[in-house]
Structure 1
């Protein structure tokens, strides 16, 4: 005869009172977790969280990115991760600052664990890539609004994979170099410059913008540093663009569920790659919201 307090597997079952208490505790924990998810979703949708970007400065210094045999090249300031991290306290967009990497230094990945109340969007972009242009046209204002309100951070990695489609002018590299120059000398205007780069975007198999036009575009986007124009003309960071592009293509990509960049745009939200339409703003917004409300590990 089987004891009424033994399961068919022979393991002792708790008394009925204990089972009720266990069920209540389980239900309480489930309600608490759901409440946390609801809070994250409300915070994301209502605006004005604020990420304390000054504190993020210290964050960009923890996780080392493995390197490949790319040419040694010094990088721009404020791009220690090979990208520039932008956020807001709820009013104006600003950049997390970091020292320039020396030619033999490894890039340093952003530690996103301190950014738990924001959607952390990471973009790998080529300024000649038409699909990147489509993504920016569709989602750029939405992302800028999220970042400005303090609901999101965006980390932009300008890379160069389409030089072969610029009639010999290496526009993809020159454009990424221009972005690095802005990041170095006027980082708080980087997002505005990034937006301007995709407005009236040059087409593939064209020569793209000249260096003078890139410098003029930076000025129109609000960049005031006189050093940016000479940095663009001198192609100061062209070697770094090549090296950072090779790192992105070789991987690993930190804070993500992908091994390496296989094309542009590559879009990540809280470490999860976006594989939906690049021309559907509602689909991207739904994806971002889903990542904000997902429990860790989901």
Structure 2
């Protein structure tokens, strides 16, 4: 074997080792996240669901104070709302469908300031999706990120989305493909996703969605659709 061939072989072997290490580290992180919420996973009809149990145990959130939150609405709003959510959680999708558009409208009118606290409770696909959201937030700014947030929930029935679909949805939301594709495909914000999920669990989060209105747990209703409608009514008062 020539010197050039031996050098190339060593380089390829080193790349394989590095890739294997990266895969092991990613698996370790996913297992760590799964361990945080494993006791709360419910198997219903073959689907994995997480519902917000013991919501009263979550520490009151200081709106706008967390590096893991995404705030929408003015500082001087009459009300504050905190929503812990997972983009793949069907209950979160129900809440978003019932209240998301109206809450955003109330925020635009100055009635409420919303602090979204996304987490990844539902395994690898939740991690991938939240990573994509954070990439868009970092690279394209809050206005595009809000559009992407809404679009991810609108497409929840099609989840999990492949990388190309996540990128396409980001572009449709206003992001530049060149700015976000690399971070989405390379999981550039995976550490942030892990930290955000662990921080929420440390605050007492038991499941998603969990809602706080003006610093207190809000669960007025017998379903997430009803809770969403009542939440909108409450911020209009």
Q: Same fold (TM over 0.5)?
A: yes
Q: Which structure 2 residues correspond to residues 1-298 of structure 1 after superposition, within 5 A?
A: 81-88=67-74, 115-163=75-123, 170-186=124-140, 187-202=142-157, 208-224=160-176, 226-251=178-203, 260-277=204-221, 278-280=224-226, 281-289=228-236
Q: Look up the SS of the partner of 1:242 in the other structure.
A: helix
Q: C-alpha displacement at 1:118, in angstroms? A: 2.6
- What is the alpha-carbon distance in structure 1 between the residues aligned to residue 67 and residue 115 of structure 2? 9
RMSD: 2.4
8 Å Cα contact 1:125/1:266 also seen in 2: yes
Q: Partners of 1:117 and 1:222 in 2: how far apart?
A: 27
Q: Which has the higher contact order (CA 8 A, sep 6+)?
A: 2
User: Residue 289 of structure 1: CA displacement?
Assistant: 4.4
In structure 2, the gaps of 5 or more residues are 1-31, 34-63
CA-CA distance at 1:81 after TM superposition: 2.4
Superimposed CA distance per residue, residues 60-95 of structure 1 (whole angstroms, 9 cap, x where no aligned partner): xxxxxxxxxx99xxxxxx99521111225xxxxxxx
Structure of greater Rg:
1
SS in 2 for 1:279: helix
Q: CA deviation at 1:179?
A: 1.1
> TM-score with structure 1 length normalisation?
0.53
Q: Deviations over 1:165-215 (max 9, x none)?
A: xxxxx1100111111111111222121111100113147xx7x10111111
| 8 Å contact from structure 2 (residues 77, 113) kept in 1 | no
**Closer, same or farther: CA 193–263 of 1 in aligned 2, 3 Å:** same
| Structure 1 pair 79–177 and aligned structure 2 pair: CA distance change class (3 A) | farther
Q: Deviations over 1:208-232 (max 9, x none)?
A: 1011111111111122363212111
TM-score (norm. length: structure 2): 0.66
Query: Which stretches in structure 1 are left out of the alignment for 5+ residues?
Result: 1-69, 72-77, 89-114, 164-169, 252-259, 291-298
Partners of 1:286 and 1:148 in 2: CA distance: 16
In structure 2, the partner of 1:98 is: none
Report the 3-state secondary structure (helix = DSSP H, G, I; strand = E; otherwise coil) of the residue aligned with 1:226. helix
Offset of residue 116 of structure 1: 5.0
Q: How far off is 1:286 after superposition?
A: 3.2
Cα shift readout 1:36-75 (whole Å, capped 9, x = no counterpart): xxxxxxxxxxxxxxxxxxxxxxxxxxxxxxxxxx99xxxx
TM-superposition CA deviations, 1:262-281 (whole Å, max 9, x none) = 11011112111111232024
The list of structure 1 runs, each at least 4 consecutive aligned residues, that deviate by more than 6 angstroms after superposition, is: none
If each structure's helix is expressed as a fraction of its own residues, which one has the higher value? Answer: 2
Task: Assess if the C-alpha contact under 8 Å between 1:185 and 1:225 holds in 2.
Answer: no
Q: Which residue of 2 aligns with 1:38?
A: none
Q: Alignment length, in residue pairs?
A: 172
